[in-house]
Structure 1
Amino acid sequence: MHIEILVEDSSGEKLLESLLPKLLGMQGEPHSWRLHSYKGIGRIPKNLGRGADPAKRILLDQLPRLLQGYAKTPGIDAVVVVLDSDRRDRVEFLSELKLVAGRCNPTPNVLFRIAVEEVEAWYLGDREALTGAYPRAKADVLSRYVQDSVCGTWELLADAIHPGGSAAIKRAGWPLPGQKKHEWAERIGPLLEPDRNKSPSFAKFRDGMRRLILDQ
Protein backbone atom coordinates (compact mmCIF):
# COMPACT_ATOMS: atom_id res chain seq x y z
CA MET A 1 0.00 0.00 0.00
CA HIS A 2 1.28 3.48 -0.87
CA ILE A 3 0.10 6.50 1.15
CA GLU A 4 0.57 10.22 0.45
CA ILE A 5 0.64 12.18 3.73
CA LEU A 6 0.07 15.93 3.96
CA VAL A 7 1.02 18.01 7.00
CA GLU A 8 0.81 21.75 7.57
CA ASP A 9 4.45 22.46 8.44
CA SER A 10 7.96 21.02 8.57
CA SER A 11 7.83 20.24 12.30
CA GLY A 12 4.81 18.00 11.66
CA GLU A 13 6.74 16.28 8.91
CA LYS A 14 9.69 15.71 11.25
CA LEU A 15 7.39 14.21 13.89
CA LEU A 16 5.76 11.82 11.42
CA GLU A 17 9.16 10.69 10.13
CA SER A 18 9.67 9.18 13.59
CA LEU A 19 6.14 7.88 14.09
CA LEU A 20 5.26 6.24 10.79
CA PRO A 21 7.69 3.30 11.00
CA LYS A 22 6.24 2.49 14.43
CA LEU A 23 2.73 2.39 12.95
CA LEU A 24 3.28 1.04 9.43
CA GLY A 25 6.55 -0.87 9.61
CA MET A 26 9.73 0.05 7.79
CA GLN A 27 9.40 1.99 4.57
CA GLY A 28 8.51 -0.37 1.73
CA GLU A 29 8.06 -3.46 3.95
CA PRO A 30 5.44 -3.75 2.57
CA HIS A 31 3.86 -0.29 2.87
CA SER A 32 5.34 2.89 1.46
CA TRP A 33 4.56 6.54 2.03
CA ARG A 34 5.63 10.02 1.04
CA LEU A 35 5.41 13.07 3.31
CA HIS A 36 4.56 16.55 2.08
CA SER A 37 4.90 19.57 4.39
CA TYR A 38 3.30 22.93 3.70
CA LYS A 39 3.91 26.48 4.92
CA GLY A 40 0.82 26.86 7.07
CA ILE A 41 -2.73 25.62 7.29
CA GLY A 42 -4.67 28.36 5.46
CA ARG A 43 -8.38 27.87 4.86
CA ILE A 44 -10.64 25.85 2.60
CA PRO A 45 -11.44 28.04 -0.45
CA LYS A 46 -15.07 28.84 -1.11
CA ASN A 47 -14.71 27.81 -4.75
CA LEU A 48 -12.95 24.57 -3.69
CA GLY A 49 -9.64 25.58 -5.17
CA ARG A 50 -10.45 26.54 -8.73
CA GLY A 51 -7.70 28.91 -9.79
CA ALA A 52 -5.54 28.31 -6.68
CA ASP A 53 -1.86 29.07 -7.28
CA PRO A 54 0.07 25.77 -6.90
CA ALA A 55 3.21 27.74 -5.98
CA LYS A 56 1.60 28.91 -2.74
CA ARG A 57 2.24 26.02 -0.37
CA ILE A 58 -0.64 26.62 2.03
CA LEU A 59 -2.31 23.30 2.79
CA LEU A 60 -6.05 23.96 2.96
CA ASP A 61 -5.88 26.44 0.08
CA GLN A 62 -4.48 23.64 -2.09
CA LEU A 63 -6.43 20.73 -0.62
CA PRO A 64 -9.29 20.45 -3.16
CA ARG A 65 -6.83 20.47 -6.06
CA LEU A 66 -4.52 18.00 -4.32
CA LEU A 67 -7.24 15.50 -3.46
CA GLN A 68 -8.66 15.62 -6.97
CA GLY A 69 -5.21 14.94 -8.39
CA TYR A 70 -4.43 12.08 -6.02
CA ALA A 71 -7.77 10.44 -6.73
CA LYS A 72 -6.84 10.23 -10.42
CA THR A 73 -3.24 9.08 -9.92
CA PRO A 74 -2.50 5.35 -10.31
CA GLY A 75 -0.40 3.82 -7.55
CA ILE A 76 -1.70 6.03 -4.76
CA ASP A 77 -3.86 3.91 -2.48
CA ALA A 78 -4.69 6.47 0.21
CA VAL A 79 -4.13 10.05 1.31
CA VAL A 80 -3.72 11.10 4.96
CA VAL A 81 -4.11 14.74 5.98
CA VAL A 82 -2.86 15.74 9.46
CA LEU A 83 -3.91 19.14 10.79
CA ASP A 84 -4.10 21.17 13.99
CA SER A 85 -7.59 22.19 15.04
CA ASP A 86 -6.27 25.43 16.59
CA ARG A 87 -9.41 27.21 17.83
CA ARG A 88 -11.78 25.52 15.40
CA ASP A 89 -14.58 23.22 16.50
CA ARG A 90 -13.10 19.81 15.69
CA VAL A 91 -16.38 18.14 14.64
CA GLU A 92 -17.35 21.01 12.35
CA PHE A 93 -13.85 21.21 10.89
CA LEU A 94 -13.83 17.47 10.12
CA SER A 95 -17.22 17.78 8.40
CA GLU A 96 -15.86 20.58 6.20
CA LEU A 97 -12.84 18.49 5.24
CA LYS A 98 -14.98 15.47 4.36
CA LEU A 99 -17.17 17.70 2.21
CA VAL A 100 -14.12 18.72 0.17
CA ALA A 101 -13.21 15.06 -0.39
CA GLY A 102 -16.80 14.15 -1.24
CA ARG A 103 -16.91 16.71 -4.04
CA CYS A 104 -13.97 15.12 -5.85
CA ASN A 105 -14.68 12.88 -8.80
CA PRO A 106 -13.56 10.18 -8.31
CA THR A 107 -13.65 10.32 -4.52
CA PRO A 108 -10.21 9.71 -2.99
CA ASN A 109 -9.51 7.25 -0.20
CA VAL A 110 -8.62 9.92 2.37
CA LEU A 111 -8.12 9.90 6.14
CA PHE A 112 -8.30 13.22 7.99
CA ARG A 113 -6.73 13.41 11.44
CA ILE A 114 -6.82 16.47 13.66
CA ALA A 115 -4.55 17.26 16.62
CA VAL A 116 -6.47 19.09 19.36
CA GLU A 117 -5.50 21.99 19.78
CA GLU A 118 -2.02 21.59 18.32
CA VAL A 119 0.32 18.70 17.62
CA GLU A 120 2.15 19.57 20.85
CA ALA A 121 -0.78 17.83 22.58
CA TRP A 122 0.70 14.57 21.27
CA TYR A 123 4.01 15.26 23.02
CA LEU A 124 2.16 16.08 26.24
CA GLY A 125 0.26 12.79 25.88
CA ASP A 126 3.46 10.82 26.46
CA ARG A 127 5.09 12.28 29.56
CA GLU A 128 7.75 9.56 29.60
CA ALA A 129 8.92 10.57 26.14
CA LEU A 130 8.72 14.27 26.97
CA THR A 131 10.75 14.01 30.16
CA GLY A 132 13.16 11.64 28.46
CA ALA A 133 13.92 14.37 25.95
CA TYR A 134 13.76 17.18 28.53
CA PRO A 135 14.65 15.81 31.98
CA ARG A 136 14.34 19.26 33.55
CA ALA A 137 10.76 19.81 32.36
CA LYS A 138 8.78 21.65 35.03
CA ALA A 139 6.43 19.18 36.69
CA ASP A 140 4.21 21.93 38.10
CA VAL A 141 3.54 23.30 34.60
CA LEU A 142 2.87 19.85 33.15
CA SER A 143 0.46 19.06 36.00
CA ARG A 144 -1.76 21.99 34.94
CA TYR A 145 -2.37 20.55 31.50
CA VAL A 146 -5.70 18.89 30.76
CA GLN A 147 -5.09 16.51 27.87
CA ASP A 148 -6.31 17.76 24.48
CA SER A 149 -7.72 20.96 25.96
CA VAL A 150 -7.76 24.27 24.10
CA CYS A 151 -5.40 26.19 26.34
CA GLY A 152 -2.51 27.48 24.27
CA THR A 153 -0.87 24.07 23.96
CA TRP A 154 2.49 24.97 22.47
CA GLU A 155 2.85 27.82 24.94
CA LEU A 156 2.26 25.46 27.87
CA LEU A 157 4.83 23.02 26.54
CA ALA A 158 7.30 25.88 26.09
CA ASP A 159 6.64 27.05 29.64
CA ALA A 160 7.57 23.58 30.84
CA ILE A 161 10.76 23.01 28.86
CA HIS A 162 12.18 26.25 27.41
CA PRO A 163 14.27 28.69 29.50
CA GLY A 164 12.06 31.73 30.02
CA GLY A 165 9.04 29.85 28.71
CA SER A 166 6.76 30.87 25.87
CA ALA A 167 7.19 34.56 26.74
CA ALA A 168 10.88 34.36 25.83
CA ILE A 169 10.09 32.67 22.51
CA LYS A 170 7.46 35.27 21.66
CA ARG A 171 9.78 38.15 22.56
CA ALA A 172 12.45 36.76 20.24
CA GLY A 173 9.90 36.48 17.44
CA TRP A 174 10.13 34.64 14.17
CA PRO A 175 11.84 32.33 13.28
CA LEU A 176 12.38 31.07 16.85
CA PRO A 177 8.83 29.65 17.36
CA GLY A 178 9.18 27.51 14.26
CA GLN A 179 12.70 26.47 15.20
CA LYS A 180 11.61 25.36 18.67
CA LYS A 181 8.69 23.32 17.30
CA HIS A 182 11.12 21.63 14.92
CA GLU A 183 13.47 20.89 17.84
CA TRP A 184 10.65 19.37 19.89
CA ALA A 185 9.74 17.09 16.97
CA GLU A 186 13.38 16.00 16.62
CA ARG A 187 13.92 15.36 20.32
CA ILE A 188 10.56 14.07 21.56
CA GLY A 189 9.26 12.42 18.41
CA PRO A 190 11.69 9.46 18.35
CA LEU A 191 10.83 8.66 21.99
CA LEU A 192 7.04 8.57 21.54
CA GLU A 193 5.45 5.17 22.05
CA PRO A 194 2.10 5.03 20.24
CA ASP A 195 0.37 2.65 22.62
CA ARG A 196 1.04 4.60 25.81
CA ASN A 197 0.03 8.04 24.49
CA LYS A 198 -2.84 9.54 26.49
CA SER A 199 -3.92 12.06 23.86
CA PRO A 200 -7.35 11.11 22.43
CA SER A 201 -6.56 12.86 19.16
CA PHE A 202 -3.28 10.95 18.89
CA ALA A 203 -5.15 7.70 19.52
CA LYS A 204 -7.48 8.53 16.62
CA PHE A 205 -4.47 9.12 14.40
CA ARG A 206 -2.73 5.92 15.55
CA ASP A 207 -5.81 3.73 15.19
CA GLY A 208 -6.80 5.28 11.89
CA MET A 209 -3.39 4.57 10.37
CA ARG A 210 -3.49 0.97 11.55
CA ARG A 211 -6.99 0.42 10.16
CA LEU A 212 -5.95 1.95 6.86
CA ILE A 213 -3.37 -0.73 6.18
CA LEU A 214 -5.53 -3.53 7.57
CA ASP A 215 -8.46 -2.60 5.32
CA GLN A 216 -6.49 -2.42 2.09
Structure 2
Amino acid sequence: MAANHLVFLVEEPSMEAFLRELLQRMLPAACTSEVHPFQGKGDLLAKLDARLRAYAQWLPPDWRLFVIVDRDDDDCGELKRRLEAVAERAGLVSRSRAGAGPWQLVNRIAVEELEAWYFGDWEAVKAEYPRVSADVPQRRGLRDPDAILGGTWEAFERVMQTHGYFKEGLPKIDTARRIAAHMSPEANRSPSFQAFRVALADALA
Protein backbone atom coordinates (compact mmCIF):
# COMPACT_ATOMS: atom_id res chain seq x y z
CA MET A 1 0.00 0.00 0.00
CA ALA A 2 1.38 3.39 -0.99
CA ALA A 3 1.81 5.86 1.85
CA ASN A 4 -0.62 8.74 2.11
CA HIS A 5 1.06 10.30 5.15
CA LEU A 6 4.72 10.47 6.16
CA VAL A 7 6.13 11.25 9.59
CA PHE A 8 9.76 12.38 9.89
CA LEU A 9 11.58 12.30 13.21
CA VAL A 10 14.74 14.39 12.91
CA GLU A 11 17.39 15.50 15.34
CA GLU A 12 17.33 19.26 14.90
CA PRO A 13 15.55 22.24 13.28
CA SER A 14 17.83 22.62 10.25
CA MET A 15 16.85 19.16 8.98
CA GLU A 16 13.24 20.08 9.67
CA ALA A 17 13.57 23.24 7.56
CA PHE A 18 15.36 21.32 4.80
CA LEU A 19 12.68 18.62 4.60
CA ARG A 20 9.70 20.97 4.79
CA GLU A 21 11.03 22.83 1.76
CA LEU A 22 12.19 19.78 -0.21
CA LEU A 23 9.09 17.66 0.37
CA GLN A 24 6.87 20.28 -1.24
CA ARG A 25 8.41 19.22 -4.54
CA MET A 26 8.96 15.52 -3.88
CA LEU A 27 5.58 14.43 -2.56
CA PRO A 28 2.42 14.03 -4.62
CA ALA A 29 -0.44 16.36 -3.73
CA ALA A 30 -2.41 13.54 -2.11
CA CYS A 31 0.40 12.69 0.34
CA THR A 32 0.68 14.72 3.53
CA SER A 33 3.65 14.92 5.88
CA GLU A 34 4.79 16.13 9.28
CA VAL A 35 8.31 16.77 10.57
CA HIS A 36 9.17 16.58 14.27
CA PRO A 37 12.57 17.98 15.33
CA PHE A 38 14.29 17.04 18.58
CA GLN A 39 16.87 18.96 20.58
CA GLY A 40 19.84 17.21 19.05
CA LYS A 41 20.81 13.64 18.30
CA GLY A 42 21.11 12.65 21.94
CA ASP A 43 17.60 13.88 22.66
CA LEU A 44 16.16 11.98 19.69
CA LEU A 45 17.91 8.73 20.61
CA ALA A 46 16.89 9.05 24.25
CA LYS A 47 13.21 9.54 23.39
CA LEU A 48 12.96 7.32 20.31
CA ASP A 49 12.00 4.12 22.12
CA ALA A 50 8.97 5.69 23.82
CA ARG A 51 7.97 7.62 20.69
CA LEU A 52 8.02 4.54 18.45
CA ARG A 53 6.15 2.42 20.99
CA ALA A 54 3.43 5.06 21.01
CA TYR A 55 3.19 5.10 17.21
CA ALA A 56 3.09 1.31 17.10
CA GLN A 57 -0.17 1.32 19.07
CA TRP A 58 -2.18 3.09 16.40
CA LEU A 59 -0.15 3.60 13.18
CA PRO A 60 -2.51 3.43 10.16
CA PRO A 61 -1.47 1.10 7.32
CA ASP A 62 -0.97 4.01 4.89
CA TRP A 63 1.47 5.90 7.14
CA ARG A 64 5.27 5.55 7.08
CA LEU A 65 7.79 6.71 9.66
CA PHE A 66 11.23 8.07 8.77
CA VAL A 67 13.91 8.40 11.45
CA ILE A 68 16.79 10.57 10.20
CA VAL A 69 19.96 11.21 12.20
CA ASP A 70 23.45 12.45 11.43
CA ARG A 71 26.23 9.92 11.59
CA ASP A 72 28.67 12.45 13.10
CA ASP A 73 31.59 10.42 14.46
CA ASP A 74 29.58 7.24 15.08
CA ASP A 75 30.18 3.97 13.31
CA CYS A 76 27.49 3.95 10.63
CA GLY A 77 26.74 0.24 10.91
CA GLU A 78 26.52 0.33 14.68
CA LEU A 79 24.26 3.38 14.62
CA LYS A 80 21.96 1.71 12.08
CA ARG A 81 21.81 -1.45 14.22
CA ARG A 82 20.89 0.64 17.24
CA LEU A 83 18.06 2.33 15.37
CA GLU A 84 16.81 -0.97 13.97
CA ALA A 85 16.80 -2.49 17.46
CA VAL A 86 14.63 0.33 18.78
CA ALA A 87 12.12 -0.19 15.97
CA GLU A 88 12.03 -3.93 16.59
CA ARG A 89 11.43 -3.46 20.33
CA ALA A 90 8.55 -1.14 19.51
CA GLY A 91 6.98 -3.80 17.30
CA LEU A 92 7.38 -1.83 14.07
CA VAL A 93 8.49 -3.47 10.82
CA SER A 94 11.46 -1.60 9.37
CA ARG A 95 12.25 -1.44 5.68
CA SER A 96 15.52 -3.27 6.33
CA ARG A 97 13.74 -6.20 8.02
CA ALA A 98 10.73 -6.37 5.71
CA GLY A 99 12.56 -7.63 2.64
CA ALA A 100 10.04 -7.49 -0.19
CA GLY A 101 7.12 -7.19 2.25
CA PRO A 102 5.30 -4.16 3.61
CA TRP A 103 7.11 -1.92 6.08
CA GLN A 104 6.20 0.82 8.54
CA LEU A 105 9.47 2.58 9.31
CA VAL A 106 12.80 3.36 7.72
CA ASN A 107 15.99 4.54 9.41
CA ARG A 108 18.22 6.86 7.42
CA ILE A 109 21.60 8.36 8.31
CA ALA A 110 23.02 11.59 6.88
CA VAL A 111 26.73 10.88 6.42
CA GLU A 112 28.15 12.60 8.19
CA GLU A 113 25.76 15.54 8.53
CA LEU A 114 23.05 17.37 6.58
CA GLU A 115 25.66 19.63 4.98
CA ALA A 116 27.06 16.64 3.07
CA TRP A 117 23.80 16.70 1.12
CA TYR A 118 24.59 20.30 0.11
CA PHE A 119 27.99 19.26 -1.24
CA GLY A 120 26.14 16.52 -3.13
CA ASP A 121 24.18 19.12 -5.12
CA TRP A 122 26.52 22.05 -5.50
CA GLU A 123 24.36 23.47 -8.28
CA ALA A 124 21.64 24.02 -5.68
CA VAL A 125 24.13 25.85 -3.45
CA LYS A 126 25.35 27.97 -6.35
CA ALA A 127 21.78 28.82 -7.37
CA GLU A 128 21.18 30.46 -3.99
CA TYR A 129 24.71 31.71 -3.35
CA PRO A 130 26.06 32.65 -6.82
CA ARG A 131 29.50 33.82 -5.71
CA VAL A 132 30.61 30.29 -4.80
CA SER A 133 32.96 28.60 -7.23
CA ALA A 134 31.56 25.86 -9.47
CA ASP A 135 34.70 23.76 -9.02
CA VAL A 136 34.23 23.16 -5.27
CA PRO A 137 33.09 19.52 -5.75
CA GLN A 138 36.31 18.78 -7.66
CA ARG A 139 38.60 19.98 -4.87
CA ARG A 140 40.65 17.53 -2.88
CA GLY A 141 38.81 16.39 0.22
CA LEU A 142 35.42 17.50 -1.11
CA ARG A 143 34.92 15.14 -4.05
CA ASP A 144 32.94 12.55 -2.08
CA PRO A 145 30.22 14.34 -0.09
CA ASP A 146 29.92 11.49 2.41
CA ALA A 147 33.67 11.24 3.06
CA ILE A 148 34.54 14.82 3.97
CA LEU A 149 36.79 14.80 7.02
CA GLY A 150 36.73 17.09 10.03
CA GLY A 151 33.04 17.90 10.19
CA THR A 152 30.85 18.52 7.14
CA TRP A 153 29.15 21.65 8.42
CA GLU A 154 32.52 23.14 9.36
CA ALA A 155 33.83 22.37 5.86
CA PHE A 156 30.73 23.92 4.30
CA GLU A 157 31.03 27.03 6.46
CA ARG A 158 34.72 27.44 5.54
CA VAL A 159 33.98 27.18 1.81
CA MET A 160 31.14 29.66 2.05
CA GLN A 161 33.17 32.14 4.09
CA THR A 162 35.97 31.93 1.52
CA HIS A 163 33.45 33.18 -1.03
CA GLY A 164 32.19 36.03 1.15
CA TYR A 165 29.19 34.45 2.85
CA PHE A 166 28.39 33.81 6.52
CA LYS A 167 31.14 35.94 8.04
CA GLU A 168 29.25 35.79 11.35
CA GLY A 169 28.81 32.02 11.14
CA LEU A 170 26.58 29.58 9.28
CA PRO A 171 22.83 30.27 9.80
CA LYS A 172 21.94 26.59 9.60
CA ILE A 173 18.13 26.77 9.50
CA ASP A 174 17.86 29.53 6.91
CA THR A 175 20.57 27.95 4.75
CA ALA A 176 18.84 24.57 4.85
CA ARG A 177 15.60 26.09 3.63
CA ARG A 178 17.25 28.12 0.87
CA ILE A 179 19.34 25.26 -0.56
CA ALA A 180 16.49 22.75 -0.41
CA ALA A 181 14.42 25.07 -2.61
CA HIS A 182 16.89 24.52 -5.47
CA MET A 183 17.84 20.89 -4.95
CA SER A 184 17.49 18.28 -7.72
CA PRO A 185 17.01 15.05 -5.73
CA GLU A 186 17.91 12.57 -8.46
CA ALA A 187 21.14 14.43 -9.29
CA ASN A 188 22.49 14.60 -5.73
CA ARG A 189 25.88 12.86 -5.48
CA SER A 190 25.66 12.02 -1.78
CA PRO A 191 25.09 8.26 -1.34
CA SER A 192 23.30 8.84 1.97
CA PHE A 193 20.95 11.33 0.33
CA GLN A 194 20.23 8.84 -2.45
CA ALA A 195 19.46 6.18 0.16
CA PHE A 196 16.93 8.61 1.64
CA ARG A 197 15.45 9.41 -1.78
CA VAL A 198 15.07 5.73 -2.70
CA ALA A 199 13.33 4.98 0.59
CA LEU A 200 10.98 7.89 0.02
CA ALA A 201 10.14 6.66 -3.48
CA ASP A 202 9.54 3.17 -2.07
CA ALA A 203 7.11 4.56 0.50
CA LEU A 204 5.15 6.27 -2.25
CA ALA A 205 5.17 3.36 -4.70
Match of 1:149 in 2: 147
Match of 2:40 in 1: 40
CA, structure 1 residues 62+166, in 2 after alignment: closer, same or farther (shift >3 Å)? farther
Match of 2:22 in 1: 19
Q: Work out the CA distance in 1 between the residues paired with 2:165 and 2:113.
A: 15
Match of 2:182 in 1: 191
Number of equivalent positions: 188
- Structure 1 residue ranges (4+ consecutive) displaced by more than 3 angstroms after TM superposition: 105-108, 138-142, 163-169
Supply the RMSD in Å over aligned alpha carbons.
2.3
Cα distance, 1:139 vs structure 2: 5.3
1:8 aligns with 2:6: no
Match of 1:48 in 2: none
Q: Deviations over 1:62-87 (max 9, x none)?
A: 00001000111243722101110001
Unaligned runs of 5+ in 2: 95-103
1:204 aligns with 2:202: no
1:159 aligns with 2:154: no
CA, structure 1 residues 164+132, in 2 after alignment: closer, same or farther (shift >3 Å)? closer
1:114 aligns with 2:109: yes
The alignment's TM-score, normalised by the length of structure 2, stands at 0.83
The 3-state SS of whatever aligns with 2:16 is: helix
Match of 2:99 in 1: none
Give the conservation status (yes or no) of the 8 Å contact 2:122–2:134.
Answer: no
CA, structure 1 residues 61+132, in 2 after alignment: closer, same or farther (shift >3 Å)? same
1:137 aligns with 2:132: yes
1:96 aligns with 2:88: no
Q: Deviations over 1:72-117 (max 9, x none)?
A: 1243722101110001111111111101111113657111111101
Q: Work out the CA distance in 1 between the residues paired with 2:79 and 2:148.
A: 15
The alignment's TM-score, normalised by the length of structure 1, stands at 0.79
Cα distance, 1:127 vs structure 2: 1.2
Deviates more, 1:101-110 or 1:196-205: 101-110
